Structure 1
Amino acid sequence: MKARIPGSKSITNRALVLAAAARGTSRLSAPLVSDDTVAFRDALTALGVRVTTAPDDASWTVTGLGRGPHGGGRVWCADAGTAARFLPPFAAAGTGRYVFDGTDQLRARPLSPLTAALTRLGARITTDSGAALPLTVDAEGLAGGELPLPSGLSSQFLSGLLMSAPLMRAPLRVRAEELVSRPYIDMTLALMTRFGARTDESGGHISVDPAPCTATDLAVEPDASTASYFFAAAAVTGREITVPGLGLGSLQGDLRFVDVLREAGATVRTTTEGTTVIGGPTLRGGFDVDMGDISDTFMTLAAIAPLADAPITIRGIAHARLKESDRIAAVDENLRALGVTTEVGHDRITVVPGPTRPARIACRRDHRIAMAFSVLGLRAPGIDLDDPGCVSKTFPGFHTELTRLFPTPYNPTGLEEHR
């Protein structure tokens, strides 16, 4: 069966800020329409960027400024981490005073590497805590130049700086240390190229020349992180699922999750048209995998690991502790509540397969926790989500699509409200 997966959040929000900075009008086809992307779109509007939507949200049209914003304003980021990381550099490349804020959940996420980098580039930054939202940017443009940026916390800091670099007064040359989630940087650079930015990577440095981007039309491909739940569901139910439009040539590193499922015994076919996963007779365990570059999908694997025939260890995911929740701790807590044996380290988790017992899953307002454990619920009776609606952050129709493809008695609390 074919899964109906919405557009990529990562591509949608990157394309929005690049289109905002570009000269001309860009049209984004099939953007993701979710809490995070709407918050990002509204935040751009607060910065003076005009974004118009088709009546059915099938496309968004962005009238670029060809420069940084001017005049100042208050910018509400809601829960959107990308807004808090991508938009302060864009604002700092303009002029005026901009105040960024968000929910308590977003206020808890660190921004110190970004604020330090922006200060070095000439922005005046003040925060209540020195390391997080609310954050005030007094902008007079950014100088550019040489910039060391420790990226061990989040590749989003580097992406935000790179996407605003064409608006700086001089070339930006970044030395990225301890870079995690490298595929997201590759995605950023590829999209910048689509919008006409001049970039170069050599000798451990990434360089961007100062020259405004050019508007372009872009079709947003399905979200690979979201697709992981449906691919995993196929793997644990023995079914066949295809995601059209997500295949060879994808900009998203998270599509590599299907390689992990192949190691776990699934059959995988990837073509230019899409990707298909067919579940095997058993979910094979007994392996150790580094998922640092695709950490948004580690929870998908960890949640289905109790169904495997041997333990599975996932490594390289320390930065997942600084996402919407401490995702390692959240997965561990919920698996233990289900009666599953785990072993946790700073950057790893080992899941020992075995029978589960009924339990209420603590979602921690984290969409990926809710979606991952929903997949386990296809095979493990008695799973109940304490916050099924949190999936609206990236896929409001998630529960409807999962039950359409995999009809089961599984019905998390409040499911009917989100159909």
Structure 2
Amino acid sequence: MTEAKSSPIPAAVARIPGSKSLTNRALVLAACAIGTTTVRRPLISEDTLAFAEALRTMGTRVDRAEDSWTVEGTSGDFASLGTVWCADAGTAARFLPPVAGLVPRGFSFDGSDQLRRRPLGPLLGALRSLGAEVWPTDGHGLPISVKGAPQQLSGPREIELPSGLSSQFVSGLLMAAPLARGLTLRTSDLVSRPYVDMSITLMADFGVLVDEPEPGVFVVPDQPLRSPGVFAVEPDASTASYVFAGAALTRRAIRVDGLGRNSLQGDLAFVDVLAQMGCSVAIGDHTTSVTGAQLPLRGGFTVDMGEISDTFMTAACLAPFADAPIRITGVAHARLKESDRIAAVATNLRAAGVRVDEGDSWLEIHPGRPQPARIDCHRDHRIAMSFSVLGLRADGIMLDDPACVGKTFPGFFEEFDRLFRDPS
């Protein structure tokens, strides 16, 4: 990541909640492990609460306190206590069916209409190749039923997984693989690689070392997951992108503590994009600061955001304030998230009078002066938060569904106002 000298402007410290990606990975690994795990500073949001409740329906005890959750590991001895409701949580729908496919019980999974539209086909195909029974047999998404029988696996111990639609398919299978007493997973077209690296790092914390003898081939050894006792969750780097972007537009200095050069989260690399736009970035061992530059921001470049695609919308909402077009590439898989994010960003920016060109995997945003517009959030938290950044420099930006930020950051608007709108 880029590092630059910080500005003498005193930095305001942003209060960023815990990482959703780390929280839900820690929960599923703790549930599969031997022993009890305390997850400190977890994200408490609609998605993580849904994930914890889904684990309870699978027979895992999860006790919640204000600043920590305690998970009693099952060692793979899960129980089916009803239909596992995933709500809107994509991680629940991608991480929990692999667990079900590798234990000798049957589970049913369902979720919201929005989640039902998100594809699971490659993951379900991989589970079938391991000998799990999946209904409906021609299904490509929720609702599904999964039954696994590890003692009688008929499929190969080495499987292939097309992973161009979502890295969560890979993460889900890797984290469940210790329940199958080892597995070799060959991937193709892997997107969002930093999230897979995150899963592998957390597995090491739980005592299982994943080998990668060649790129995209992952070997999980025959050994059980064991609780580390305590796992501490970092602030969410994807969420931090909004306050860092706010600094870019307001010439303020914003600091996030708990995110530094050794962060497990690839999305911290968003600050590299801000550095390209002319912002001052300082990354320390345990903190990251961004100070905005004078407008217009620097444009006229192309950036591949495929590995940090959850932040491409934040960059897109900064781009109208640059001095030349900015082209964002490598984000085709973002069309299959909570919404078609490429189309949603392009349509909403055009509604605000900004010129946007787009293709299957890219979009190019031209400089412009955004006009008042009603933003269609598509029930997508990241659309709502990204366009809140746009609203810092554009009057009349109204969100049709501001409450959707509760998926990952229930207190987003209060914190955003504190940092950027409060006169104090």
Give the superposition deviation at 1:209. 1.1
Give the superposition deviation at 1:72. 5.8
Give the superposition deviation at 1:91. 1.5
**What corresponds to 2:72 in structure 1?**
63
Alignment match of 2:285 (pick from 266, 272, 275): 272
Amino acid at match of 2:108: V
Amino acid at match of 1:264: M
How many Å separate the matches in 2 of 1:261 and 1:247?
A: 16
**What corresponds to 2:92 in structure 1?**
83
Evaluate the alpha carbon distance shift between residue 365 and residue 312 of structure 1 in structure 2; reply closer, same or farther with a 3 A threshold.
same
Evaluate the alpha carbon distance shift between residue 78 and residue 128 of structure 1 in structure 2; reply closer, same or farther with a 3 A threshold.
farther
Does residue 151 of structure 1 match 2:160? no
How many Å separate the matches in 1 of 2:110 and 2:21?
A: 21
**What corresponds to 1:24 in structure 2?**
35
Alignment match of 2:218 (pick from 194, 198, 206): 206
**What corresponds to 1:412 in structure 2?**
none
Give the superposition deviation at 1:71. 4.2
Secondary structure of 1:73 counterpart: coil
How many Å separate the matches in 2 of 1:214 and 1:131?
A: 33
Evaluate the alpha carbon distance shift between residue 3 and residue 398 of structure 1 in structure 2; reply closer, same or farther with a 3 A threshold.
same
Does residue 346 of structure 1 match 2:360? yes
Does residue 375 of structure 1 match 2:386? no
Give the superposition deviation at 1:93. 1.7
Does residue 258 of structure 1 match 2:267? no
How many Å separate the matches in 1 of 2:192 and 2:75?
A: 29
Does residue 247 of structure 1 match 2:222? no
Secondary structure of 2:131 counterpart: coil
Secondary structure of 1:324 counterpart: coil
**What corresponds to 2:45 in structure 1?**
34
How many Å separate the matches in 1 of 2:223 and 2:136?
A: 30
Alignment match of 1:391 (pick from 397, 405, 416): 405
How many Å separate the matches in 2 of 1:95 and 1:397?
A: 41
Q: Is the 8 A contact 1:23 1:65 kept in 2?
A: yes
Between stretches 197-206 and 286-295, larger displacement belongs to 197-206
How many Å separate the matches in 1 of 2:80 and 2:413?
A: 42
Does residue 166 of structure 1 match 2:175? no
**What corresponds to 1:224 in structure 2?**
237
Does residue 6 of structure 1 match 2:17? yes
**What corresponds to 1:196 in structure 2?**
207
TM-score, with length taken from structure 2? 0.94
Amino acid at match of 2:196: I
Q: Is the 8 A contact 2:57 2:80 kept in 1?
A: no
Give the superposition deviation at 1:199. 1.4
Q: Is the 8 A contact 1:70 1:95 kept in 2?
A: no
Amino acid at match of 1:124: E
Amino acid at match of 1:110: P
Evaluate the alpha carbon distance shift between residue 402 and residue 354 of structure 1 in structure 2; reply closer, same or farther with a 3 A threshold.
same
**What corresponds to 1:305 in structure 2?**
319
Secondary structure of 2:374 counterpart: strand
Q: Is the 8 A contact 1:73 1:97 kept in 2?
A: no
Q: Is the 8 A contact 1:67 1:212 kept in 2?
A: no
Does residue 93 of structure 1 match 2:129? no
**What corresponds to 1:414 in structure 2?**
none
**What corresponds to 1:106 in structure 2?**
115
Give the superposition deviation at 1:128. 7.9
Alignment match of 1:175 (pick from 143, 163, 186): 186
- Residues 22-41 of structure 1 show CA distances to partners (whole Å, capped at 9, x for unaligned) of 00000000000000000000
Give the superposition deviation at 1:129. 5.9
Give the superposition deviation at 1:76. 0.1
Q: Is the 8 A contact 1:127 1:133 kept in 2?
A: no
Amino acid at match of 1:349: L
**What corresponds to 2:8 in structure 1?**
none
How many Å separate the matches in 1 of 2:145 and 2:158?
A: 24
How many Å separate the matches in 2 of 1:109 and 1:137?
A: 18
Amino acid at match of 2:294: P
Secondary structure of 1:207 counterpart: strand
Does residue 74 of structure 1 match 2:88? no
Deviating beyond 4 angstroms after TM superposition, the runs of 4 or more aligned structure 1 residues are none
Secondary structure of 1:79 counterpart: coil
**What corresponds to 1:404 in structure 2?**
418
Aligned-residue sequence identity (percent) comes to 59
How many Å separate the matches in 2 of 1:77 and 1:88?
A: 11
**What corresponds to 2:3 in structure 1?**
none
Q: Is the 8 A contact 2:200 2:209 kept in 1?
A: no
How many Å separate the matches in 1 of 2:345 and 2:360?
A: 13
How many Å separate the matches in 2 of 1:373 and 1:71?
A: 41
Amino acid at match of 2:285: T
How many Å separate the matches in 2 of 1:12 and 1:212?
A: 20
Evaluate the alpha carbon distance shift between residue 366 and residue 360 of structure 1 in structure 2; reply closer, same or farther with a 3 A threshold.
same
**What corresponds to 1:289 in structure 2?**
303
**What corresponds to 2:6 in structure 1?**
none
**What corresponds to 1:417 in structure 2?**
none
Does residue 322 of structure 1 match 2:339? no
